[in-house]
Amino acid sequence: MLNVLFFGRIREELDCAQLTVAPGPGCDDLDALQKHLETMHGDRWQTVLGQDNLIRAVNHAVVSVNVPLVDGDEVAFFPPVTGG
């Protein structure tokens, strides 16, 4: 299974802290997983996860490109970080 985590404002807007998703066709890479989540959960998820400045991480490493996913991976979605 893929363990999917949501943090900060993303978690609040989706009203979801984490979920698990079966890896495989339709969820075999990060972009496909994100699209699957948007499709399965509707317009609100598509709006929140479709933000251009969304931060994504796989196994505790921030990624800026699409990466393959395998069983046991942890995927996290973060809102953009701002500083003062």
**Domain of residue 71, CATH code:** 3.10.20.30
Mean pLDDT over 47-69 rounds to 95
Residue of 81, 84, 35 whose CA lies nearest to 54 = 81
pTM of the model: 0.91
Q: Is there a domain that residue 22 lies in?
A: yes
Percent with pLDDT over 70 in the chain: 96
Mean pLDDT over 21-29 rounds to 89
CA distance 77 to 63: 11
Where residue 45 falls among pLDDT bands split at 50, 70, 90? very high
Q: How many CB atoms lie within 10 A of CB 77?
A: 21
Q: Is there a domain that residue 69 lies in?
A: yes
Mean pLDDT over 31-40 rounds to 95
Which structural domain, as residue segments, surrounds residue 22? 2-78
Q: Is there a domain that residue 84 lies in?
A: no
Query: What's the total number of domains in the chain?
Result: 1
Q: Is there a domain that residue 83 lies in?
A: no
Q: Is there a domain that residue 62 lies in?
A: yes
Residue at token pair 């998703």: 21
